[in-house]
A and B are shown apart, each in its own frame.
Chain A
Amino acid sequence: MDTELELVRRSKAGDEQAFEQLVLIYEKKIYSMGLRYTGSSQDALDICQEVFLRLFRFIGQFNENSRFSTWVYRISANVCKDAVSHRHADAMPLGRDTDDEQYSIEISDLRYSPEKQFDTIELRDTIADGIMSLPQKYREIVIMRDINGLTYSEIGEALSIEEGTVKSRLARAREQLRTFLSAIGNISPNSQSNGVKGGRVK
């Protein structure tokens, strides 16, 4: 079976079957990214088409200096941004889109907070709404990490930002998400069981 790099090289040489193999590898990932980015299955489908059209068109320019997956996600992030921009879905983010250099989280003392006992029944659905509520630059970070499973290094490479910025944005994103879920009343410490499924807690 061909490695991904071999598929890329064959695709660059015009092998459509090899490109189709790459589509199979990434189509669900990009669809998931688009769906969580826009909240719309139709937009996610559109995003997939656009991403793979761009990949198909520009794959000859992929210079193999970076991972192909990083390149795919970089293009995907751009297409998602275009889609969100078009729909003006980002017009009223819940959180402030502040500079990372001024990163600061006002943390509350949760010992006396009622939300720690919140219901978890609809948590998953609410999380989807929570993702949509995030400002774009936080949303893309959360999606790349939790939906696509990219490492901080890969995210930084895909978005052309420093790894420290990835950390601070992700922290802010999750805090805003936590605040959102708390406000809705759908988060509880008890919903976490044995570590993070799909995560890499040591």
Chain B
Amino acid sequence: MKNCEDYIILMNMVIDGEAGDDEQNELLNHIESCESCKIRFQQYLSAAEEMRALSEEINPPEELHSVIMNAVRQPARTVRRRPVIYRYIGPIAACAAMLTLAVAAISWPQLGRVGGGAPPGTTIAASYDIAATWQQYETEDSPEMGIGQFEEEGTTGISQNDGDATLKSNMSMAQLKPNTESLIDNISGLNISDKLYEIKDIGSLNGYAAYYVAVGEGELPAYALELAANVQIEANNCLVLENNSETVAEVLSGLSAAGYLIQRNISNLPEESADSTECVILICQP
């Protein structure tokens, strides 16, 4: 036999039109004989009715549509809610932005701008094994690229423990030797590469909102690590962080300032997922 608590879900189902006729009759029969449930049901109804009326009363600002469409039509422009010093530097506009990178951070227009720092407990539940081979190659559009090519394999394994929010990693990039000459050529003060890279066998890293690769040497900057969750620095593989533009820009700029080359132009990165709230920065320390 049901007690009053059992009827609470049913009350909500009736209010929402999710109950069948039998269920609805069952509830109505109960509240006829239970004054307390009758009051509760009517209170739920009152609140739900006012909620929906409240929704109908909402009048968005007149500029809503134009603000949205302006943002959509200018996808390369970083839209920000709060003033920040970061500056978007697109691959094409790289030269124009060279002088400002020293003081400005990088932000990526395709990332979200709403949100804050990465929560300290950010984890990834899955374990990944990655065998990554990097290959820089020339493209038809960029025949000047590919000053030298490399293709060396490194076995990468990232295991992540979601139980204690610890990111453990044994990614080995020691074998990777990116073309330093081309990197330097590419850096030119920007630390952004427009060369096309390829990372093989990283399909298991799919499902994130965005992917970046940072190539460089030396310690990862503490400033960046403060915003990225649970990174095992010795393993030098991944930073996992919340995918909002301010946080990502801060981490990327921290890496960039530390001499890391930020790669976005990777040919075979997994498909980015609109559903995910996290992004990944693969760290390559050759």
Residues of A with Cβ closer than 8 Å to B?
A: 16, 19-20, 23-24, 27-28, 31-32, 35-36, 41-50, 52-58, 61, 71, 74-75, 78-79, 81-83, 85-88, 104-105, 107-111, 113, 116, 120, 123-124, 127-128, 130-131, 142, 145-149, 151-152, 167-168, 170-171, 174-175, 177-178, 181-182, 187-193, 195-202
Contacts and interface: CB of A to CB of B under 8 A. Distances in A.
A198 B5 CA distance: 26
B93 interface: no
B159 to A, nearest CB: 24
Contact of B112 (A50, A131, A191): A50
Contact of B68 (A49, A85, A128): A49
B52 A32 contact: no
Nearest to A74: B275
Contacts of B234: none
B64 A111 contact: no
Nearest to A180: B47
A31 B63 CA distance: 12
A199 B49 contact: yes
Given A171-B12, A174-B44, A46 B54 contact: no
A199 B12 contact: no
B43 A178 contact: yes
B271 A27 contact: no
Contact of A142 (B36, B51, B242): B51
Interface stretch (B73-81, B135-143, B187-195, B256-264): B73-81
A196 B15 contact: yes
> What are the 3 tightest A-B residue pairs by CB atom distance, in nearest-first order?
A200-B17, A82-B115, A189-B42
